[in-house]
Amino acid sequence: MGQRVYCNSNMWPLFSEDKTSVVEYVVERNPSEFVFVEREKKTPLYVIALASDGKDKIEDRASLLVDISNELLEQNSQRRAKLAVELHELNQKAEQLDVKVQTQQHQMEALRQSHLSIGWVSKFTARNRYLPTPPMDMIRHVGSVDGDNFREVGMNVVGDLIQFGLLTNPNATIADIGCGPGRIAMFIAPALSNNGSYHGFDTWSEGIGWATENITSHYPNFVFKTLSDSQKDPGDRADFLTGYRADFFRSIDLDDNSCDLVLAISLFTHLRYKAARSFMKEIYRIMKRDARAYLTFFIYDEESHHSIPHPHRDLQSDEYGFYYVEGSYADSYFKERTILDIFGEFDFRLHTKKFGFWRGDKYREDRWPGGYQDLFIIGKD
């Protein structure tokens, strides 16, 4: 009849007749009320089944439905069986997740221990003054504060390369664009056999000269080449040579498809877009199939812009990023979309992206000690 009946609803007879038998009435709804109609007009929409375990016989003057099947019970059993299967599957998934969490915890602990190990080795290496170390003016030129810091930074980066499995081939051909005086090369040297080779490139001729004299003399398969002649920077930073020219590009003197690994550490952090894109194209040219490139950047976004040193400095900007420019020198903060678009243009495949702890301490646990800058490892697949 359209009325809900609840467990606490009151039922009463429609007429005050002293009858205990089931009485059937048929009603019809008109625009203003329900009215009684003859039984012939009824169209059953709902069926109400009555059952009793009493001794007295139910009066048979009304229409009754007796369900002798176990349909509802069977449906309930099937539903319970289905729920049991679902519960079992959920328990299995929970166990798998527990195993996965435990595995990740073990991996994190192993990573933490490896970071501690690399940090310890780096500190140990930093104190090893038997290692070749350039004079103080060259050390400061590459951003280090003293000889210990120079050696520690180099070992930190090599430790990062080891962690990512990039120094496993002793016969590899490695190109290092922006190699400076060989701060990283001196620690890569023991990892390569005589059949391997390292090619360092930099626009800073003094650094190339020092590396050739102090590293190539011991490892002839480590070769250093200058990309341009050194000149005094015409800007305010007159003590800096044009090893850092934001608009500079020159092709790399290596054959097509010749390198197993390309390093560009703190290269793109000092380039404008046009030069960055040109170097990326050149990196693709010299990489073998299945080779990797280890590239670092300062990626500009909502999070990192608070971490830019000296925020009072005026930043230039274009559609690709932001730049602090002083003469021909620049600190470059590219937008991530800019870098990803260049990767896509030259058909690179991104394998690893790790933000560095220059952004803040929350990245230190994952990237310390060798991951100060934002890292992208790409492949030529």
Read off the pLDDT of residues 196-222 as tens digits, 9 standing for 90 and up. Answer: 999 999 999 999 999 999 999 999 999
Confidence of residue 232 (pLDDT cuts 50, 70, 90): very low
Q: How far apart are the first and last CA of the chain?
A: 72
Beta carbons of 194 and 221 less than 8 angstroms apart: yes
At 52 the pLDDT is 62
Q: Could you give the CA distance from residue 291 to residue 132 in angstroms, rounded to a whole number?
A: 30
Closest CA relative to residue 330, chosen from 313, 353, 305, 312? 313
Residue ranges covered by each domain of the chain = 127-380
Strand order in the sheet with 316-318: 299-300, 329-335, 321-326, 316-318
Q: Which CATH architecture has domain 127-380?
A: 3-Layer(aba) Sandwich (3.40)
Residue 50 confidence (pLDDT) above 70: no
Q: Give 300-303 contacts, CB < 8 A, sequence gap 24+.
A: 300/333, 300/334, 300/335, 300/336, 301/335, 301/336, 303/359, 303/360
Segment 218-245 shows an average pLDDT of 65
Read off the pLDDT of residues 273-298 as tens digits, 9 standing for 90 and up. Answer: 999 999 999 999 999 999 999 999 99
User: Mind giving me the DSSP string for 91-142?
Assistant: HHHHHHHHHHHHHHHHHHHHHHHHHHHHHHHHHHHHT-TTS----HHHHHHT
Residue 297 backbone phi and psi in degrees, to 5 = -145, 165
Confidence of residue 132 (pLDDT cuts 50, 70, 90): confident
Confidence of residue 71 (pLDDT cuts 50, 70, 90): low
Q: Could you give the CA distance from residue 65 to residue 50 in angstroms, rounded to a whole number?
A: 7
Residue 334 confidence (pLDDT) above 60: yes
Interacting residues of 33 by C-beta distance below 8 A, sequence separation 6+? none
Segment 159-181 shows an average pLDDT of 94
